[in-house]
Amino acid sequence: MAILSPRMKGWLERFGCHIGTANKSGFPTTIVVEQATTEGDSVVSFNLTDAQVNHIKDNIQTNPYVALAPHAIASIRAAYQFKGAATLDGNKLKVDVKEIYCTKPGPEAALRLDTLPPEHVIKFEESRWRDVGPPK
């Protein structure tokens, strides 16, 4: 299980995500959801519209592993990628995050963060971003 940092939770909740899904043979479909909530250490939830549900439900049923990347200004200020197992219950999509990556372009792109102790992740964030509090 991955542990989301307070900084990650703040940006995810405020701006939502681009959610990458694919069918079993790898044909990709991305949706954009502009708000999220987090639950506990590792769960990110999204309230989808009917159109979004219809767009990805087949993919989620056959291949629930998805990738998340923060939307809007969070793409710049919070360059993370999250991967995990999704479940769709009505219009609620829940993703239990299993992997967390830094996605700042450059040598630290794809650096895996969930394998670090949580206190090391916070130190990493403090050293790489000027803003470690909630997004303004």
Residues near another protein, by CB under 8 A: 18, 20-34, 48-49, 51-52, 54-55, 63, 65-73, 75-77, 79, 81, 83, 103-107, 109-110, 129
Task: Closer to another protein by CB, 68 or 121: give it.
Answer: 68
For the bound state, the minimum distance from the C-beta of residue 108 to another protein, rounded and expressed in Å, comes to 8
Q: Cβ closer to another protein: 117 or 133?
A: 133
Residue 35 CB, nearest approach to another protein (Å): 10
Largest distance between two CA atoms of the chain: 41
Cβ nearer to another protein, comparing 1 with 73? 73
Query: In angstroms, rounded to a whole number, what is the distance separating the alpha carbons of residues 37 and 44?
Result: 6
Of the two residues 37 and 103, which places its CB atom closer to another protein in the complex? 103
**In whole angstroms, how close is the CB of 39 to another protein at the nearest point?**
21
Q: How far is 117 from 65, CA to CA, in rounded Å?
A: 24
